[in-house]
Structure 1
Amino acid sequence: MRTASPGDLDSITDLHTLARTAYYQAGGVPDVELASPGGHSSRRESWRRAVHSSDRTVMCADREGELVGILSMGPPHEADIDAATARQLYQIHVRPGIWGQGTGSALHAEFVRVLRDASLVTGVLEAWERNSRAQAFYARHGWKPDGHHRPGPGNGNYVRMRLSLDPAV
């Protein structure tokens, strides 16, 4: 596990593209919607901003010199989440083909470590409602839907989930 650097942008963008394509295709989003001409460059620019941001953290998981997972986190997006007690998990992506081998759990543990180190007690994230794999992953790690939704791709919604940490641990 290491902090991302500007030199990682192409690898991060490629991994994100592979992972999002896999889960959106599995959820029924047509390939034509996933392959927009500007999509890759837009994702790269978003990752460039995240890597250079002072209030976001981007972590990389490497295996044998290859980027296999990424984690992005920062302040909550929504005004109803108290930034004094919470951090938002923006994204965890793992290279398709190695799902279920512990990379996602290691990235998740890093997120929880950051929360605890900052004495924060709440994590918040959004998962696409048709990404049952992601929702099951987060549920196994203690996350629960909080009832908030917002529109997402393929006529589906993003479901907000929360993780409550015991402040005494």
Structure 2
Amino acid sequence: MRTASLDDLDPIVDLHTQARTAYYQAGGLSETELTSPEARSVRREMWMRAVQDDTRTVLCAVRESEIVGILAMGPPLEADLDASAVGQLHQIHVRPGRWGQGIGSQLHAAFVQLLRDASLTGGVLEAWERNSRAQAFYARHGWKPDGHCRPGPGHANYLRMQLVLGPSS
């Protein structure tokens, strides 16, 4: 696990594209809209801003010099959340061929440790309602829906989930 740099942008964008294509296609969206050059350009710009933003943390999980997973976190985006208490997990993505190998759980553990290091008491994230794999992953790690949602692609919502941290041992 290491902090991402601008040199990682293209591998990060490629991994993000592969992961989101897998789960959005499974949810009924077309590959064309997910992998277009325009969509890739938007993702690259988003990741560049995240890597350069001092309020965000972007980590890469690396195996045999290949980026196999990514995480982005920072302060919560919604005004109803207290940035002095919670951090937002903006993204966890694992290369689809590497799913089920514990990489996502290692990234999640790094997120929890970063919350604890910042003396935060919990986390918040959004999961696309048609991404049952992600929802199950987060539920296994103690996340619970909090009743908030916002519109997402394919006429499906993003569901907000929260994690409350207990005392560390």
Q: Name the TM-score class by shorter chain.
A: over 0.9
Asked whether 1:131 is paired with 2:131, we answer yes
TM-score (norm 1): 0.97
d(CA) in 1 for partners of 2:64, 2:36: 32
Structure 1 residues 88, 16: CA separation in 2 closer, same or farther (over 3 Å shift)? Answer: same
Query: What is the CA distance between 1:3 and its match in structure 2?
Result: 0.2
Does 2:94 match 1:94?
yes
2:61 counterpart residue number: 61
Give, in whole Å, the separation in 2 of the partners of 1:147 and 1:29.
Answer: 25
Gaps of 5+ in 1: none
- 1:103-152 superposed Cα distances (whole Å, 9 cap, x missing partner): 00000000000011111111000000000000000000000000000000
TM-superposed deviation, 1:83 = 0.4
Query: Aligned residues, how many?
Result: 169
User: Is the contact between residue 60 and residue 69 of structure 1 (CA under 8 Å) also seen in structure 2?
Assistant: yes
Matching residue's letter, 2:152: G
Per the alignment, residue 155 of structure 1 pairs with 155
**Residue 31 of structure 1: CA displacement?**
2.3
Cα distance, 1:168 vs structure 2:
5.5
TM alignment of 1:5-154, pairs within 5 A: 5-154=5-154
**What's the offset of the Cα at 1:97?**
1.1
Cα distance in 2, alignment partners of residues 59 and 147 from structure 1: 29
Q: Which amino acid aligns with 1:112?
A: V
Between the aligned residues of both structures, percent identity stands at 71
List 4+ stretches of structure 1 deviating above 4 A. Answer: none
> Is 2:17–2:34's contact at 8 Å kept on the other side of the alignment?
no
Equivalent residue of 1:38, what SS? helix
The answer to whether the Cα contact below 8 Å between 2:87 and 2:122 also exists between their aligned partners in 1 is yes
- Structure 2: tracts of 5 or more residues without a match: none
Q: Which amino acid aligns with 1:136?
A: A
* Paired residues of 1:121 and 1:167 also in contact (CA < 8 A): no
